[in-house]
């Protein structure tokens, strides 16, 4: 007697390499994989440290000196200083951790997220009010759908 798996015909066994490989086929998206979690560990933990008011004060007083307390790469530090969030995603940042940086800057999610799209905040907000970005053409790079 085998366990009945309601999903046994849903796509066959999961191959971890195929599973992870598909993530690179999504346009304009960095899935937060183990590889990125390792690469961005100290970057994300730095961002997490801004949850504490006393750390926010020290950070605001001298951003570079604060960053130098963390074993981050120079690229990561420069991208933080530039608030280049797409670059930070490429360097292993996760948006919920990076949110501590833009919240400390006084930006909302909507304001910060819009900077990653190449749109102005106003255009981005107008797009959201009009129903958001359509998934058409945004699902797969290879399949153009």
Partner 1 sequence: MARITHGIACSHIPALGVASDFDKWEDPYWKPIQEGFAPTQKWEAENLPDVVILVYNDHASAFDMKIIPTFAIGCGESYKPADEGWGPREVPDVEGHPDLAWHIAQSLILDEFDMTIINEMDVDHGLTVPLSMVLGKPAKWPVKVIPLAVNVVTYPPPSGNRCWALGEAIARAVESFDEDLNVQIWGTGGMSHQLQGPRAGLINREWDNMFLDKLSGDTQELRCIPHIEYLRETGSEGIEMVMWLIMRGALGKETRELYRFYHVPASNTAVGHIVLEPVNGDVPPSTTVEGNNAEAQTLIG
Q: Is 82 a residue that touches partner 1 (CB under 8 A)?
A: no
* Cβ partners under 8 Å of residue 99, min gap 6: 47, 109, 112
User: How is residue 114 annotated by DSSP?
Assistant: H
Query: How many angstroms separate the Cα of 35 from the Cα of each of 55, 56, 85, 101?
Result: 28, 28, 18, 22
* Cβ partners under 8 Å of residue 32, min gap 6: 94
Q: Is 72 a residue that touches partner 1 (CB under 8 A)?
A: no
Site string for partner 1, 5-34 (x = CB under 8 A): xxx--xx-------xx-xx--xxxxxxxxx
Residues within the interface to partner 1 (CB under 8 A): 1, 3-7, 10-11, 19-20, 22-23, 26-34, 37, 41, 44-45, 47-48, 50-51, 56, 85-86, 89, 94-97, 99-100, 103-104, 108-110, 113-114, 116-118, 124, 127-129, 131-135, 138-140
């Amino acid at each position: 007697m085998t366990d009945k798996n309601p999903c046994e015909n849903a796509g066959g066994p999961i191959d971890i390499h195929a599973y992870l490989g598909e993530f690179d086929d999504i346009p304009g998206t960095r899935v937060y994989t183990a590889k990125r979690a390792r690469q961005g560990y100290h970057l994300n933990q730095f961002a997490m440290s801004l949850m504490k008011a006393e750390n926010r004060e020290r950070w605001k007083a001298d951003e570079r000196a604060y960053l130098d307390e963390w074993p981050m790469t120079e690229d990561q530090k420069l991208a933080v200083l530039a608030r280049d969030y797409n670059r930070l995603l490429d360097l292993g940042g996760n948006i919920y951790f990076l949110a501590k940086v833009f919240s400390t800057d006084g930006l909302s999610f909507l304001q910060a997220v819009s900077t990653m799209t190449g749109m102005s905040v106003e255009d981005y907000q107008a797009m959201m009010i009009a129903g958001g970005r359509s998934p058409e053409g945004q699902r797969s790079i290879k399949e153009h759908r």
